[in-house]
Amino acid sequence: MKFIVKENYEEVCKEAFKIMKEVVDKGNSTLGLATGSTPIGLYNLLVEDHKTNHTSYKNIKTFNLDEYVGIAKSHYESYDSFMKRNLFSHIDINMDNVNLPRGYAEDLEQECKRYNELLENNTVDIQLLGIGANGHIGFNEPGTPFDSVTYITNLTEKTIKDNSRFFDSISEVPTKAITMGIKNILQAKKILLLATGKNKAEAIKRLHDNVITEDLPASALHMHKDVIVIVDKDAYSLV
């Protein structure tokens, strides 16, 4: 696991952009994507690059990490809406090549199976990750077995509280999500984790400590041979 420390959020995004761009430039790559606040700056840079340099996404496939259960696909805070708003609507991607778990599916077990099969049949070239203040990756909360594959997860109180900033009230925050499992995430060829801000400092310190434990889901990444963690000074402040 390689740590790169940058001055601030903007510099973290620029560094991440360089790494993502190399993969996108191959033309027919498969990207694993994340939502949340952290990747927005990177998505803005990808959009800007598409507009300026005509970088094409026509043959790019994508798989998102997760989606809330219990809100409509069209809900402003669904990850489907988030991805369209922040990336897909601004690039030339073929929406048939875009994949997210369908948290609104009637049969959620079947949906987990469908998504998992897709992941088994496609190799993700680069998986983008954020990290929860509690060390979650995707919505794999502390205690999740490292051999987990796509499943329905109960969000912890901490995650619900952290995500309530996107909703009008905490009671509106979904309590469940469909997420790629840790095993799915580890199958990507390359993993790029971004973390900024003081509220991630504890999780980054624990990740840096190199102790592999299910209490810190992100620590599973130590078992992967190509992981780059890009952080700003605040997120690195306890290391």
53 labelled catalytic: no
Separation between Cα atoms, residue 117 and residue 128, nearest integer Å: 20
CB of 125 to ligand F6R, least distance (A): 18
Q: Which of 141, 162, 184, 232 is catalytic?
A: 141
- Residues that bind ligand F6R in the complex, under the rule CB under 6 A: 34-38, 65-66, 130-132, 136-139
Which of the following is catalytic: 86, 116, 134, 140? 134
Amino acid at 184: N
Q: What is the DSSP string of 142-170?
A: TT--TT--SEEEEPPHHHHHHHGGGSSSG
Is there a catalytic annotation at residue 90? no
User: How far apart are the C-alpha atoms of 132 and 203, rounded to whole Å?
Assistant: 8
Least distance between ligand F6R and beta carbon 21 (Å): 20
Min. distance of Cβ 70 from ligand F6R in angstroms? Answer: 16
Angle of helix 79-86 relative to helix 40-53, nearest 10 degrees, comes to 40
Query: 136 an active-site residue?
Result: yes
Q: Which is nearer to ligand F6R, 9 or 57 (CB)?
A: 9
Known catalytic residue: 50? Answer: no
d(Cα 194, Cα 129) in Å, to the nearest integer?
6
Q: Which residues are catalytic?
A: 66, 134, 136, 141
